[in-house]
Amino acid sequence: MLNLLEDCLERKGNAVGTFLGVTTPAIMEAIASSGLDFVVIDTEHGPYGTESMNDLISTASLLGISPLVRIADLTHGEMQHALDNGADGVIIPCLREVDEFRKAVDLGKFPPLGNRGFIKGRGSRFGAEDWASGNLDEYLENSDRKALILPQCETAEALDHIEEIVNIEGIDGIFIGPFDLSISLGIPGQFGDQRFLDALERIYEACRAAGKMCLIFANTPEDGRRYLREGYDAVAVGTDFQIFSGAMAETVRKARR
Ligand code: 3PY
Ligand code: MG
């Protein structure tokens, strides 16, 4: 199995995930029976170190849930740790310039597309996966297919160049961050504003025209359902903390009623 997210998209046509901030791998066991397709281990905002990120990636993939990692910074170390530990994809926040998107490919893909550093890491079960047993050329090609590079479009500058960005070879898809995008456009949280809706349509159409995946964060399950109906490949609905806190408030409210 190369990539659980791609496998899910092939089988189901789309994918539903959520953002993680909880660091104990037991969270994955607790939520695995929900039917969730992927998680985003959020090292941009969550309290993750390399070890807790690694444990979450392992547990998620062993439970059949695709582990994506949102790295905090576009650096060799952040990219390498996420990929060597077996992330199915890396989400990169807050990029502005086209060259930053090119750098994401440079750090995340092996030659000829980029300059990722080599090791037979957990992503290939330390070389034991079927797809990792051929010659080195094949290994590099399969590793590039396994590890999706999914930068975010969440700045006005990136939006301005989105058609060029999605056509960069090695970028597998775009993850839309509606909150930061709306803030960057000067219309914070105004998700019904025509300028915001036009921005979403522009990104979505650019992805479709380039044959790249289009993923988006949804604040509510209803938003998630709407995005999936509109044709987005994947929605990450809410965050674990947000969902627990809502469910706990509802539990207490019902108990007191
Ligand atoms: C945003 O909405 O800005 C995001 O990055 C979603 O996680
Ligand atoms: Mg964001």
Q: What is the mean pLDDT of the chain?
A: 97
CA distance 11 to 13: 6
Please answer whether residues 202 and 159 qualify as being in contact, where contact means their C-beta atoms are separated by less than 8 angstroms: yes
Looking at the CA of 19, which ligand is closest?
1
84-100 b/e (C-beta count within 10 Å ≥ 16 → b)? bbbbbbbbbbbbeebeb
Closest ligand 1 atom, CA of 154?
3
Q: Which whole number is the average pLDDT over 28-38?
A: 96
Threshold 0.85, pTM exceeds: yes
Please answer whether residues 20 and 47 qualify as being in contact, where contact means their C-beta atoms are separated by less than 8 angstroms: no
Ligand 1 contact, 44 CB (< 6 A): no
CA of 179 to the centre of ligand 1 (A): 5
Q: Could you report the per-residue pLDDT of 115-144, keeping only the tens digit for each?
A: 999 999 999 999 999 999 889 999 999 999
Please answer whether residues 104 and 151 qualify as being in contact, where contact means their C-beta atoms are separated by less than 8 angstroms: yes
**C-alpha 78, offset from chain centre:** 14
pLDDT at 1 over 90: no
pLDDT above 90: percentage of residues in the chain: 98
Ligand 1 contact, 180 CB (< 6 A): yes
- Going along the chain from its start, the domains and CATH numbers come out as 4-256 (3.20.20.60)
pLDDT at 219 over 80: yes
State the Cα torsion 54-179-232-46 to the nearest 10°.
10
Q: Which of 48, 253, 4, 252 is nearest to 145 (CA)?
A: 4
pLDDT, residue 138, reads 95
Q: Could you report the per-residue pLDDT of 50-108, keeping only the tens digit for each?
A: 999 999 999 999 999 999 999 999 999 999 999 999 999 999 999 999 999 999 999 99
Probe ligand 1: pick from 180, 220, 240, 241, max atoms within 8 Å of CB? 180
CA distance 218 to 214: 13
Report the chain's terminal Cα–Cα distance, integer Å: 49
